Structure 1
Amino acid sequence: MSGVMSELHCPYTSLTTGNVTSRLLEPANCLQLIVFLSTELEAARLLKKPTSEPAQHDEDVLHELCLIGKALGLPEISPDAPVSELMRELETKITKLSGTVPMSPPLFKVQLQPEQWETLQELHHSMLKEYECRMRMLVTRFDVTVQSFHWSERAQVKGKPMKEVYWPLRESLTSESRITIPHLLAAREDYSRILPTCNATFCLKTRSAIQKVLMIGSVPDRGGRPNEIEPPMPMWEKRREGGGGGRGHQRWGKRDERKRK
């Protein structure tokens, strides 16, 4: 024990000096030794490099790759198989299946650098926050609208059946998005072609009898254009006494004198 204390550079002289056989006979020295070894152990754990996390990460990656291989119909993969070999088998199988399925070219074709991947991840997080905010507002409006239906007497009688129909649909509306960066990598060019719902060709294929009832007809013109607003009428005031009235009388008086002449 004295050798261990000297190698650890123990600062307590009671554990490093004196008779070796009698150093730990006193309870105070034993307690001091326990405290010192505990602090050294805690410091060693803090300074230890994380070696178990990469191993756990590799196990998770191998598990996901095994699931992909099972979905593609590959034979059962051994857990001890190297990841590089498994990736080659998956790439060969996916390339073979891609030739038999009509698919458009990938939408994302650029090879990004590590810094660009980090920027893309930050952009993804910001878009997730915006989506969550908008979705939470939409769900809140939906809840308020449904609550307003329960104000009538008829709805109060049928409140339970309405809740049984509404609540399963409400639970499916979550504010969190399930879109991840792998969805971007798997996207195809045809995903970017979004037809507007008011397109004539699109409406011919999706028109149904219910649209004749729910579709709004011609909406009357309600006005409200700034250029059509009439100016307000001026406020009428009494004529002020004095002012420029005297000058006017003088002018008329001179004209009358000229006419008389």
Structure 2
Amino acid sequence: MEGDVLLTVRALGYSGQLLEEDALLQAAGEGPRSPQFTALCSWLASELKAVSSLEECITTTTSPEDSETFQLEVSGLVSELQCPYPTLTTGNVTSRLNNAESCLQLLLFLGSELQAARVLHARRPSLAQHQVPRDTGDDGGEILRELQALCQALGMAEPTRDVPVPQLFRDLETQIRDVSSGLVPDGVGKPLLSRSLDPDQWEHLKEIHRAMCIEYECRRQMLISRLDVTVQSFHWSEGAKQHKAVMVQSYEPLRQALCARSGITLAHLLSAREDLSVITKTTCESSREKTACPVNKVLMGPVPDRGGRPGEMEAPMPTWEDRRGGGGGGGGGRKQKWRGKGRKHK
């Protein structure tokens, strides 16, 4: 059995003091009284907890007096893992690890559980990791930015990589409740999205959001290109050539801040209130209460008529002129010339 234990812990990446068979057998013979044995058990339990939703843990002992506490912790751990070995789950708690065979069986059981947990974790990283996402990819970066903005708005520290997601959301919920308690009733307003969506509906909503982002990114890129062409035309004049460096220095910071990619995310939909769906005209009474000013009361006087009405224009009439040059030609030496709409026919 000790050979299987050595192969297992080496494959799992263990680099402690029990990589030799003799050292392993000696530590297993001492059992909970051996700090090396308890350290290996603690390492396996900590690695197992990192890739699963394990609650129990094992603490490394520093002296033989801590052996009883260690065995109590082992009992809770194997019970949570639903260990199938009766020698590790039945009988007196402080006497289950009194022989080397039981200790080796415990190491082999924890090692096999860790191997299985790592395989499941690799197959389902989004469900097994339970940690704040890294800023990699569109979805992960978007989630991380939204969490950072939320923590900043609530006056909390930015989330780090080692913070479990359930703990982070519990802290956020507590802080939001504290902040909301100081607001007036219905001060925030009712949400625009008033119903819950199932996973399939969320996927359809994401597809709609992606399509709209592509559409608006194209439009924003077109507007930015028009702006670049317009600003470039300003440099053509002789007076602008003398101040080209100043113009570029003033324009470049503003241009770099313009981004074609849309910053609207699904989080904006969740935070939208009902009043966002109410569209009012700028000339309505409620809007004019805040936008009215004395300039609006100034009346323009009579202005000259500049014309430009196609319905009142007359069609141009053709004109006939004598031929000024000589030369033979039919028609009694005369040439007809019609002028109309800028075209000449001879």
> TM-score of the superposition, structure 2-length normalised?
0.41
Pairing 1:58–2:130 present = yes
What code does the residue aligned with 1:186 have?
Answer: S
| Aligned match for 1:150, one of 210, 235, 245 | 235
Larger radius of gyration: 1
Q: Which digits, 9 at most, give the CA deviation of each residue in 1:198-239, with x for residues without a partner?
A: 55764664578999xxxxxx99674457xx899999xxxxxx
Where 2:236 maps in the other structure, the secondary structure is coil
Cα distance 1:129–1:152, how it changes in 2: closer, same or farther (>3 A)? same
Pairing 1:121–2:206 present = yes
Once residues 157 and 238 of structure 2 are traced to their aligned partners in structure 1, the CA distance between those partners, rounded to angstroms, is 63
Mean Cα displacement is larger for which, 75-84 or 177-186?
Answer: 75-84
Query: What is the total number of aligned residue pairs between the two structures?
Result: 180
What value does the CA root-mean-square deviation take over the aligned residues?
4.5
Cα distance 1:173–1:208, how it changes in 2: closer, same or farther (>3 A)? farther
Pairing 1:97–2:169 present = no
Q: CA deviation at 1:137?
A: 0.4
Once residues 149 and 207 of structure 1 are traced to their aligned partners in structure 2, the CA distance between those partners, rounded to angstroms, is 35
Q: CA deviation at 1:142?
A: 0.5
Once residues 166 and 78 of structure 1 are traced to their aligned partners in structure 2, the CA distance between those partners, rounded to angstroms, is 37
Pairing 1:138–2:197 present = no
Contact 2:132 2:160 in 1 (8 A): no
Contact 2:131 2:162 in 1 (8 A): no
Q: Which digits, 9 at most, give the CA deviation of each residue in 1:109-165, with x for residues without a partner?
A: 121111111100000000000011000100011111111111110011111111111
Please list every run of 5 or more consecutive structure 1 residues that lacks an aligned counterpart in the other structure: 1-47, 212-217, 234-261
Look up the match of 1:183: 268
| Aligned match for 1:107, one of 192, 202, 217 | 192
Where 1:120 maps in the other structure, the secondary structure is helix
| Aligned match for 2:247, one of 144, 162, 165 | 162
Written as runs of structure 1 = structure 2, the 5 A alignment for 1:1-261 is 50-51=122-123, 53-54=125-126, 57-61=129-133, 72=154, 83-101=165-183, 102-197=187-282, 202=287, 205-206=290-291, 222-223=308-309
Look up the match of 1:27: none
Once residues 53 and 200 of structure 1 are traced to their aligned partners in structure 2, the CA distance between those partners, rounded to angstroms, is 56
What code does the residue aligned with 1:192 have?
Answer: S
Contact 2:192 2:274 in 1 (8 A): yes
Cα distance 1:52–1:116, how it changes in 2: closer, same or farther (>3 A)? closer
Q: CA deviation at 1:80?
A: 7.6
Q: Which digits, 9 at most, give the CA deviation of each residue in 1:158-204, with x for residues without a partner?
A: 11111111111111111001111111111122333455455576466
> TM-score of the superposition, structure 1-length normalised?
0.53
Where 1:59 maps in the other structure, the secondary structure is coil
Cα distance 1:220–1:128, how it changes in 2: closer, same or farther (>3 A)? farther
Q: CA deviation at 1:94?
A: 1.2
Contact 2:189 2:273 in 1 (8 A): yes
Greater RCO (CA < 8 Å, at least 6 residues apart)? 1
Q: Which segments of structure 1 move beyond 6 Å, counting only runs of 4 or more?
A: 74-81, 207-211, 218-221, 228-233
Please list every run of 5 or more consecutive structure 2 residues that lacks an aligned counterpart in the other structure: 1-118, 135-142, 297-302, 318-346
